Amino acid sequence: MSATVVVTAPDGSVDRSVVERVLGDDASVVYLADVADPRRSAVLERADVLVTDGPTEELSEAEFDLLHDGQTIQLLSAGVDYVDFDRLPAGMSVLNNAGAYAEPMAEHVLAMYLALSKRLLEEHRNMADGEFNQFTPTRWVDGSTVGIFGFGAIGAAVARKLRALGVRVEAINRSGETDEEVSFVGTPDDLDRLLETCDCLVVSAPLTPETRGIIGRQELSRMADDATLINVARGELVDQGALYEHLRANPEFRAGLEAWWTEPIRHGRFELDYPFFELPNVLGSPHNSAIVPNVTELRTRHAVENVRTAIAGEPGNVVDRERGY
């Protein structure tokens, strides 16, 4: 008997043609959006796998209480810091969508690093004010060293793109091991070493109790005065006040901020405690690094391919509830 996969994510957030193509005869797929209210409870109870953007947002309280041990939740997101694991049944497996957005996010990191190194935003503003700083030097990217904190799928994709430009890549992940071509790989215990040697630090680690605020005043002080910080993870990995003061005190230090501390999707609003956009050495983007024309197809394919392997008994991207990723 094929497994029952229930897609609780709303219409438009998954590509149905991809779901049908990937799962084929491996599963019976039901879209909760197509199910009339009286039947929704029965559908949820018999589900083997639920594909979701977030069960607490997509299900009513009564429906959420129907989730049970033995079921699997496949998230469409890579990050899981918004998931209330305490509310989920202890015997329910949770799979994330790590890697689904790696390639477009890696391009975004590359764009930010190039723009910051070449002073593109700063000189654009200067020219708008009538300044023509033709002989102010920019920085070489070729030959620079980029440290990547959080060397998973995103970090590895970033490394591949940077190596093509002659960048030396150093990395940190939890295991201290990788098959990727890097000049150095270590564990979080090696963070100080990474900070002291890199021209640019890319933050792409998950938000967990261990990583919250891991880049603070002391860590920033270990970096070169003209180094660059790019955060594409979660704002909370970096101490907001410490970063602002460091940028003010070190005008040659630059920051590319793609992830913010208070964002509309997670918090209902965009808000800053400090006026980052008054600083000339900050380049910001609205957490849109993964938003490319085929993002729905990308995330759907990655998620349902993981569902297919889970049905076969070999799930990938299993979330460790204790560690939070």
Q: What is the pLDDT of residue 308?
A: 96
Residues 279 and 299 in one domain: no
Residue 40 belongs to a domain: yes
Cα–chain center distance at 273: 22
Residues 253 and 208 in one domain: yes
Residues 215 and 136 in one domain: yes
Cα–Cα distance, 109 to 291 (Å, whole number): 14
Residues 106 and 91 in one domain: no
Residue 316 belongs to a domain: no
Residues 67 and 188 in one domain: no
Residues 87 and 119 in one domain: no
Residue 321 belongs to a domain: no
Indicate left, alpha or beta for 296 from its phi (over 0: left) and psi (-120 to 50: alpha).
alpha
Identify the CA nearest to 223 among candidates 249, 204, 205.
249
Residues 95 and 187 in one domain: no
Cα–Cα distance, 63 to 42 (Å, whole number): 10
Question: What domain range includes position 13?
Answer: 3-100+294-311
Would you write out the chain's pLDDT as a tens digit for each of its 325 residues? 589 999 999 989 999 999 999 998 889 999 999 999 999 999 999 999 999 999 989 999 999 999 999 999 999 999 999 898 999 999 999 999 999 999 999 999 999 999 999 999 999 999 999 999 999 999 999 999 999 999 999 999 999 999 999 999 999 999 999 999 999 999 999 999 999 999 999 999 999 999 999 999 999 999 999 999 999 999 999 999 999 999 999 999 999 999 999 999 999 999 999 999 999 999 999 999 999 999 999 999 999 999 999 999 999 999 998 888 8
**7 CB contacts (<8 Å, ≥6 apart)?**
14, 19, 29, 30, 31, 32, 33, 50, 51, 52
CATH code, domain carrying 196? 3.40.50.720
Residue 58 belongs to a domain: yes
Residue 289 belongs to a domain: no
Q: What is the pLDDT of residue 1?
A: 55
What is the DSSP track for 170-230? EEE-SSS--SS--SEEE-GGGHHHHHHH-SEEEE-----TTTTT-B-HHHHHHS-TT-EEE
Residue 66 belongs to a domain: yes
Q: What is the pLDDT of residue 105?
A: 98
Residues 135 and 269 in one domain: yes
Residues 38 and 119 in one domain: no
Cα–Cα distance, 325 to 323 (Å, whole number): 6
Cα–Cα distance, 68 to 89 (Å, whole number): 6
Residue 322 belongs to a domain: no
Per the structure, the count of domains in the chain is 2
Residues 108 and 241 in one domain: yes
Cα–Cα distance, 2 to 17 (Å, whole number): 19
Identify the CA nearest to 295 among candidates 22, 100, 153.
100
Q: What is the pLDDT of residue 219?
A: 98
Residues 17 and 80 in one domain: yes
What 8-state DSSP symbol labels residue 10?
Answer: P
Residue 235 belongs to a domain: yes
Q: What is the pLDDT of residue 215?
A: 98
Residues 278 and 298 in one domain: no
